[in-house]
Chain A
Amino acid sequence: MDQVVLARAFFGTSLAFHIIYATLGIGLSFMVFLSELLHNWRKDRDYALMAKRWTKSMGILLGVAIPSGTIVAIQLSLLWPGFMKIVGQVISVPFEIEIFAFFLEALALSIYVYAADRLSPYMRVIAVFLVAVGATASAVLITSANTWMNTPAGFDMKPDGTIYHVNPWKAFFNPSFVDTAYHVVISALMTGAFAVVSAAAYRLLKSGREEEAIHRKALILGLVTAFITSFFTIFTGHDSAQNLHRYTPEKLAAAEGLFETTKYAPIVIGGFVDQKEQTVKYGIEIPYFLSFLAGNRFDTEVKGLNEFPRDTWPPAYVHTLFNVMVGIGILLFVVTAYSLYYWWKKARAGKPFPRWLLWGLAYSGPVSMLGIEVGWIFSCSGRQPWTIYGFQRTTEAATKAGNLGGLYILFSLVYLMLSVMVAVVLISYFKRNPLRKDLDLLKHVGVKPHGSTH
């Protein structure tokens, strides 16, 4: 592999690995916060039990989230020194604020977990709320740096690469920041909700009647949250697409396989883009809709790839990534809406959910995570060949140091090992501490669900 591709593959793997844990860190802490709220509002101990068990999984996941986040943060300087040279001068502010969000999350989480028995119920809710705030703020700040790469602002560059006219806050609030940050946060909350839906649906399929009540409560809490967040994920995704139209039109053109600039542009679903023949093969074409999507009017003029120099076209496969991302978003929303409708009409009266639906819901968590991964890959591949759109090519950003191949293999093996171990540790922990054990404790001894976790 050539050096730049290798650096991209290496960093992409690190990010793909970290994103799983970072996303769940936001999503699950928010779910814990919701169940703590419900526990205090409804005085229903089942919700406290849920919070306790989800917190335990969060604690295990954080064992990987924190070191993998450290890896990503430092690897930026190792693999993209050319990029960080500009970042350091222009957009280091969000990185620094992010550290304080990271501190907030770490402090609040330790207090929530290890001082749980010394906190009043309301202090506990506040603690877990601060965990969610810290995790969310981290995501927002990193998104600021990422959107700045897509729509750079707040500086000028001389032909020799010297940076001048720097305005760090203009860089921070670059044109695509607000929309994208909204989309990133909402989709992370959605993924946390679907993680809960998945686990609850799976347990409903597998466990006996005595546990049914609590799993149903978890499922409904998850579904309601997922319904709202998946709706807003689509909504904000739409805003992000319009942003592409405004600021990086070649990315939208590549995503939709549009070559000629035109009004009344059609949208193509599925198929493969052939950049040589300038067509989309085997896709389903819906006339007029790309224009409508881009500007809310059918006569919106959408720029085609031919407007741009051939060597700045994003790769053809971003069309597929875009389709998968949008497809997953819509599918999840539809399934969630149907499940809630079913619950409202039938299941509320005591009728169980059909098994096929539960099986479908059991897969919603992993599918949602896949959507997140594909979305990020789309965002970053669609920016190629640029690292900083219009300013720095990826070839200029990448490290020139040798030894990348061996390190890439080594890191991939460690990521693989940690992923397997997380799964094993989670499964073995919850096998050793089944829900029944917690329920019995509640029933017979009346212990508070929030003891010390260790």
Chain B
Amino acid sequence: MVQPIEPSIAILLVWLLLYIYSIAGSVDFGASFWAMVYADKNTRAGRIANRFLSPTWEVTNTVLVLLVVAFVGFFPKAAYILGTVLLVPVSIILLLIAIRSAFMVFAYSVEGYQKALRIISGLTGLFVPALLISALPVTEGGFVRRLADREILLFDKWLSSPSVYLYMLFGLTSELFLSSLFLADYSRESSDDEAYRLYRKIALIFGPVTILVAVLTLYFSKPEAQWLLLGLSRQKEWFALSIIAFLIAYVSLWWKDGRPRVAVVFVAIQYALATFAYGVAHLPYIVYPFMTVNEAFTNIDTFYSLLKVFAVGLALLLPGFLVFWRFFLKDKRYLQKS
């Protein structure tokens, strides 16, 4: 019998959304961290970060909800396991996101406590990507135990695993790398040379650091994830291409006074290739060893309705995203407002 292709399309879409959110979310949370760091020391870099954040954070936040909704819609049975197992960690992430967003908005509207509010929103935001990525090792096996009526997370094991902390560190360094690189490009677009040089310098440091942490994370994988390592080793070519994309990006930052737009594009390619390779290696499991992609898959009629809605929704909103991009990422009147 021919294998149905629908579950594969669904998991590809979920990984695609996860990739988009990991980039957009890293830039978003990282930017509010930099806005905090450079709140008064270097006002221009801080101002650039805030100018980017004000109109965009809501849109970025919506991508997170889209990711969760798509996952529940395409793989409701996997959502059942992960929802039960990740109750506590995800709840903590939600609280951090709530505090971060609310305090960021409040900081615009009050005087006097601005600094305290920015510090809280910067710090809470900093840890969100690190916590989000710590859910990945849970799906790789070893942290979930199946009881008679439910699955539980083995908290002690999860909290004492070096592998989990390396994942978190990878989330953190990626966040700082992606956001500083993006802000370097944004500063260039705003013709702000001072901010550009600062963010470029940070990106130059965190780029190699991130690669190093990624290698360490794989090296210190826990024994239960051997199946994944095996899968990853079959994707060597993709990872090699990913490293090449990174090198092109890195070199482009040294080319004359730097080509940040080229760097941003190639780093996006770097992460796309790596995410794809990881996603392929993760097959056929969603939650190892309890649930495969095919087992978790939704009703097929629902799948096609979701797919249609997805296509129509994106097509309808595309002009909106383009207008948005022109207003806040392109228009010199906005970028150079004092």
Contacts and interface: CB of A to CB of B under 8 A. Distances in A.
B98 A78 contact: no
Interface string A423-447: 0110011001000000000000000
Interface string A91-130: 0110111111011101111110111001000000000000
Given A106-B62, A107-B324, A63 B106 contact: yes
Instruction: Decide if the interface of chain B is mainly helix, strand, loop or mixed.
Output: helix
Interface in B105-142: 105-106, 108-111
A77 B72 CA distance: 8
Contacts of A163: 299
B306 A93 contact: yes
B328 A115 contact: yes
A84 B102 contact: no
B73 A92 contact: yes
Given A59-B105, A70-B64, A111-B324, A400 B72 contact: no
A96 B331 CA distance: 31
Given A110-B59, A166-B299, A400-B150, A67 B97 contact: yes
A84 to B, nearest CB: 6
A357 interface: no
A60 B302 CA distance: 37
Contacts of B327: 110-111, 114-115, 118
Contacts of A77: 68, 72, 79, 82-83
B5 to A, nearest CB: 19
Contact of A85 (B68, B79, B86, B331): B79
A414 B98 contact: yes
Interface residues of A, number: 73
B320 A107 contact: yes
Contacts of B99: 414, 418
B54 interface: yes
B128 to A, nearest CB: 11
Contacts of B79: 77, 81, 84-85, 88
A401 B320 contact: no
B274 interface: no
Given A60-B106, A401-B152, A89 B56 contact: no
A407 B90 CA distance: 11
Contact of A403 (B68, B88, B110, B323): B88
B76 A454 contact: no
B291 to A, nearest CB: 12
A421 interface: yes
B280 to A, nearest CB: 24
Contacts of B77: 85, 88
Nearest to A426: B109
B320 A96 contact: no
Nearest to A82: B80
A114 to B, nearest CB: 5
A442 to B, nearest CB: 22
Given A68-B98, A96-B73, A110-B59, A432 B111 contact: yes
B95 interface: yes
Given A67-B97, A411-B91, A92 B72 contact: yes
Contacts of A89: 76, 298-299, 302
A286 interface: no
B320 A67 contact: no
Interface string A361-389: 00000000000000000000000000000
B87 A102 contact: no
A67 B102 contact: yes
A280 interface: no
A74 interface: yes
Contacts of A107: 59, 317, 320-321, 323-324
Contact of A399 (B68, B73, B87, B334): B87
B208 to A, nearest CB: 34
Contacts of A111: 55, 323-324, 327
Interface string B215-244: 000000000000000000000000000000
A284 interface: no
B58 A109 contact: yes
Contacts of A93: 73, 302, 305-306, 309
Contacts of B323: 107, 111
A93 B105 CA distance: 31
A68 B306 CA distance: 25
B42 interface: no
A68 B98 CA distance: 7
Given A168-B301, A414-B99, A88 B76 contact: yes
B101 interface: yes
Contacts of A67: 61, 94, 97-98, 100-102
B61 to A, nearest CB: 6
Contact of B320 (A103, A399, A428): A103
Given A89-B302, A168-B301, A78 B91 contact: yes
A169 interface: yes
B227 to A, nearest CB: 26
A347 interface: no
Given A84-B72, A454-B108, A100 B298 contact: no
B86 to A, nearest CB: 7
B73 A88 contact: yes
A324 interface: no
Interface string A325-357: 000000000000000000000000000000000
A87 B335 CA distance: 44
B102 A64 contact: yes
Nearest to A77: B83
A5 interface: no
A88 B328 CA distance: 36
19 contacts: A67-B100, A71-B97, A81-B79, A88-B73, A93-B73, A93-B306, A103-B66, A103-B317, A106-B58, A107-B324, A108-B320, A110-B55, A110-B58, A114-B54, A166-B301, A168-B306, A418-B99, A422-B102, A424-B110
The 4 closest A-B pairs by CB, nearest first: A88-B76, A63-B105, A92-B73, A110-B55
Interface of A: 56, 59-60, 62-64, 66-71, 73-79, 81-82, 84-90, 92-93, 95-100, 102-104, 106-111, 113-115, 118, 163, 166-169, 399-401, 403-404, 407, 410-411, 414, 418, 421-422, 424-425, 428-429, 432, 452, 454
Given A99-B65, A104-B317, A107-B323, 9 more contacts: A66-B61, A71-B98, A73-B65, A88-B74, A92-B306, A96-B313, A108-B320, A114-B55, A425-B106
